[in-house]
Structure 1
Amino acid sequence: MCNETPAIATTRLCQGCDLPLQPATLDAKHNAYCPRCQTQLSRGGSPSLSGNLAIALTCLCLFIPAYSMPFLSVRLLGVTIDGSLWNGIEHLYNDGFAELAVLVMFCSIIAPVLLCSALILCHIALRKRWFMGLRIGSDIIYRLKGWAMIDVFLVAIAIASFKLKDFADLMVGPALYALILLQVLTVLLISRVSIRRYWQAWRKETSYQHESKDVHCLFCHLSQPAGTHCQRCHHRLHKRRPQSIERTWAYVLAASVAIFPANLIPISILLTNGQHLEDTIYSGVVSLFNSHMSGIAVIIFIASILVPMAKIIGLGYILLSIQLKRMTFAKHRMRIFFIIKMIGKWSMLDLFVISIMLTLVDRGQLLNFIPGNGAVAFGLVVVLTLLATESLDPRLMWDCAATDNNTHKRSVDE
């Protein structure tokens, strides 16, 4: 619930629209959402921080078998080929696609490992009362939460398996079980982790005596009077993210240019039975339909064609609305922004499939698989759209929107 006349000590500005609110005490079954923009203010219940630590430590242990052992093996002409995540990255690098190798490694290995390590660092910092440790750890969690894509990688393994099942015998490797368990724990961890709770454990909001609250810190979620630096985490304070519109426009326009070669240039090249098959994203979807793999074709079409275009169009619409100072449909634009954030990472699906195919196809025999230059352009689209989403400050949508005075009286339901 959110009350209309909160005490200054417990008032918090919504990080999505800057509406002053006072979240009431929540039970274990309910979350709190802003009544105006529906941004989640806090999670219901009180998951223990020690539980987060246990999950993070378990994930770090699972990373070892998940990344070092084969997740899938193929048997072709009596030869068994083991596929691991490192092999796919190595093949991408050796084939001259170093940028794609770095991107795949970052999203599937570096970001998840750093995320868990940062969480452990936060616990150490709280125990030792080490301010810089907590700040560094919480910064890593804040910036990398959306880049950990183990779930996307698992779906990519399934798609690559369907593509190869007609050419070779497939065998499940031990790393696949570790990846599945790792994904379950990662989802659980991300759903539990709240940076605000860690900073609350460092110092509670109510301990700050503020006569007014004009700025909300996006790093530790402390609402406070206007100033140069946050009083709790010492990050620079800004009423709005500096040059948010300009930077977002730059990313969106660059992605709009890169999406053409990404869709027109072949993204993969497969040599089979003497045939040289070059596939763009669209032709690959068509060939999957023709091979009676309609389910996989739909997934690839949505993730690799619809999602990048929807992100570019959606972000462009939001930016134009902000600059034209549109006062209506702010809630609809906020929903579009939430959807863009939610679906953004799934554009990586095709790139993961390429790295897995490189791992499992033994070149020089009947099958020969190499990436096309379109994969580089597509990787650029993925990165640019993710950066565009992160750089856009959603509060700009509400600066020119009409404020409903009755909003303060609404209840916040799960």
Structure 2
Amino acid sequence: MCSSKQASHRQHSHYSNSELRVCQGCGMTVGAPIIEDNQNAYCPRCDTQLYRGHRHTCSGDVALSVVGLLLFIPVIMFPFLSIRLFGEYIDATLLDGVVLLIDEGFTFVGLLVLFCGFLVPITLCVCVVTANIALKRHHFSLMRWSMFGVYHLKHWMMIDVYIVSIAICCFKLTDYSDLIFGLSLPVLGVLQLVCLALVIRVSPRKYWQTFDEHLCTVRPNVPKSILSELKDCPQCHLVQTASSHCVRCHQPITFNESRSLQATWAFLIVATIALIPANVIPISILFANGARLEDTIFSGVISLVNNDMLVIAIIIFVASIVVPVAKILGIFYLLLCIHFKRTVYHKQRMMLFYIVKWIGKWSMVDLFVMSIMLTLVDRGQILNFTPGYGAVAFGIVVIFTMLAADALNPKLIWKNHSDTPSTHSKSTGDTFS
């Protein structure tokens, strides 16, 4: 048995894995030895959240996931919106627009709507359920792939965007037909709340810590002398010495600076090129009373303004024109600052990076509106709606700007910061909710 003096020295010269965080934003190694369950911890340099404190139980996550999966049944089977057009009732369900987009030859747009509006939220719910099964059965592979799904799918879940798209369609169709709200519309609202709660609650770090506890796995303490050489896994957040793969979840953790920059530039160039046809080629074609009305994104906004739909026009203008351009310019600015090794305003650029990542999904509003409109009015009657090829280009813009933001490692923003990595701690007592 070691003496109390020796024990004190060992405790002072080592950090346990649970006491260390390597900031996902700037790469600083941060010591947080005392953090309560109801506290959040933030990086003292870039303000990125390091630790999200909560008292949520895994059983609560399972309950929410099961409720979410059950809610998908009425969402698929029952219409969320119906219109009465020329004496005929036409229903719209979540998957009808996807099927019609594919039938019209717009397979890429249809699969994109299917992925973001349906597959991602249902897969997220399944991953949470399977993660808890993995905890019960101590199944490593199942835990690994479940947390892989949770980590990568959160950013792509867009039920909230879909609900906003339904509201826009209601305003646009008010002048043409009578609207009837279906059974699955309130269910969609509840499903959005359930999915939002899952995104907030489920922490891969917490799940992996629980998995270690179930297996009685003890991670070795980290000496203070090698703090500058530490890396953390971006998925399970285990702090460890430099290696190519995480020792816990086996995910690659090697950071390749040139590969990150090359991928970001490639995605950004593709999105920039696609932005031109997306705004020049008609994105939608409406046949009304025998007249063919082709609309680009901008002409569609002008049409909404002329029809006294100013609020909807502003939403479409911001989501379909301002947001894509802002994303491209924002990422381009960040890349230039990294290339020219700017040494000031790192925190402001970090904030810009997070804003660019958050606003990315809202560009999907136009494509969701298109799928709903196609379901309700593409019936070969006097009023007929069909997508234009500009929708394909716009879908490419949406996807590749989001991929560009994901490919850019934010640690590159802080590469030329004057501070050297060291241990700091900062926490807040605010209860997480």
The question of a shared fold, defined as TM-score above 0.5 by the shorter chain, is answered with yes
Tell whether 2:262 aligns with 1:246: yes
Equivalent of residue 221 in structure 2, options 192, 204, 209: 209
| Correspondent of 1:232 among 248, 270, 285 | 248
In the aligned structure 2, how far is the partner of 1:146 from the partner of 1:406? Answer: 30
The answer to which of 209-218 and 121-130 deviates more is: 209-218
Q: Does the CA-based 8 Å contact 1:216-1:222 persist in structure 2?
A: yes
Higher Cα Rg: structure 1 or 2?
Answer: 2
Larger mean Cα displacement after TM superposition, 281-290 or 5-14: 5-14
Report if aligned partners of 1:115, 1:144 keep a CA contact under 8 Å in 2.
yes
Tell whether 2:160 aligns with 1:155: no
**AA in 2 matched with 1:163:** K
Contact kept in structure 2, 1:6 and 1:21, CA below 8 Å: no
Query: Unaligned 5+ residue runs, structure 1?
Result: none
Q: Conserved in 2, the CA contact under 8 Å of 1:326 and 1:400?
A: yes
Provide the C-alpha distance between the structure 2 equivalents of 1:240 and 1:39, rounded to a whole number of angstroms. Answer: 21
| 2:401 equivalent to 1:385 | yes
Could you tell me which residue of structure 2 aligns to residue 50 of structure 1? 59
User: Which amino acid in 1 is paired with 2:129?
Assistant: I
Gaps of 5+ in 2: 1-11
Q: Distance in 2 between matches of 1:413 and 1:244?
A: 36
The secondary structure found in structure 2 opposite 1:231 is coil
The answer to whether the 8 Å contact 1:160/1:353 transfers is: yes
| Change in 2 beyond 3 A, CA 1:90/1:410 | closer
- Output the CA distance in 1 between the equivalents of 2:277 and 2:141: 44
- CA distance in structure 2 between the aligned counterparts of 1:298 and 1:278, rounded to whole angstroms: 20
**2:23–2:30: 8 Å Cα contact kept in structure 1?**
yes
Does structure 1 residue 264 correspond to structure 2 residue 273?
no
Contact (CA 8 Å) 2:134, 2:143: kept in 1 or not?
yes
| Counterpart AA for 2:103 | N
| 1:65 paired residue among 71, 74, 79 | 74
Name 1:188's counterpart in structure 2: 197
**CA displacement at 1:239 relative to structure 2:** 3.7
Shift in CA distance, 241/113, structure 1 to aligned 2, threshold 3 Å: farther
| 1:17 match | 26
Q: 311, 314, 334: which is aligned to 1:298?
A: 314
1:69 Cα deviation (Å)? 1.3
Q: Secondary structure at the match of 1:85?
A: coil
CA offset at residue 327 of structure 1?
0.9
SS in 2 for 1:202: helix
Other-structure match for 2:128: 119
Q: Is the 8 A contact 1:33 1:413 kept in 2?
A: no
Once the two structures are superposed, residues 295-314 of structure 1 have per-residue CA deviations (whole angstroms, 9 ceiling, x without a partner) of 11111111111111111000
1:1-37 CA distance string (max 9 Å, x none):
xxxx884212221111111112354456542211111
- Does the 8 Å CA contact 1:269/1:278 hold for their aligned counterparts? yes
User: Aligned match of 1:40 in 49, 57, 69?
Assistant: 49
DSSP-derived class of the 1:277 partner: strand
Structure 2 residue matching 1:328: 3-state secondary structure: coil
Distance in 1, matches of 2:152 and 2:319, equals 23
Mapped partners of 1:355, 1:114: distance in 2: 21
Contact map agreement 1:35 1:407 (CA 8 A) in 2: no
- Letter of the 2:357 partner, please give it: K
Secondary structure at the aligned position of 2:399 is classed as: helix
Q: Is the 8 A contact 1:254 1:384 kept in 2?
A: yes
Assess if the C-alpha contact under 8 Å between 1:270 and 1:369 holds in 2.
Answer: yes
Matches within 5 A, 1:169-180: 169-180=178-189
1:316 to 332, 335, 353: 332
- Among 353, 356, 376, the alignment partner of 2:372 is 356
Question: How many pairs are equivalent?
Answer: 410
8 Å contact 1:315–1:389 — kept in the other structure? yes
Please tell me whether residue 325 in structure 1 is matched to residue 341 in structure 2. yes
1:143 counterpart = 2:143: no
What secondary structure, in the 3-state scheme, does the structure 2 residue paired with 1:403 have?
coil
Q: 1:189, 1:242 → 2: CA distance?
A: 34
- Could you tell me whether the CA contact under 8 Å between 1:248 and 1:391 is conserved in 2? yes
TM-score normalised over the length of structure 2: 0.91
Q: What TM-score, normalized to structure 1?
A: 0.95
Cα shift at 1:273: 1.4
Distance, in Å, in 1 between the alignment partners of 2:307 and 2:22 is 53
Q: Structure 1 CA distance, aligned partners of 2:293 and 2:13? A: 65
Report the counterpart of residue 15 of structure 2 in structure 1: 8
**3-state SS of paired residue (2:222):** coil
CA-based RMSD of the aligned residues comes to: 1.9
Matched letter for residue 348 of structure 1? M
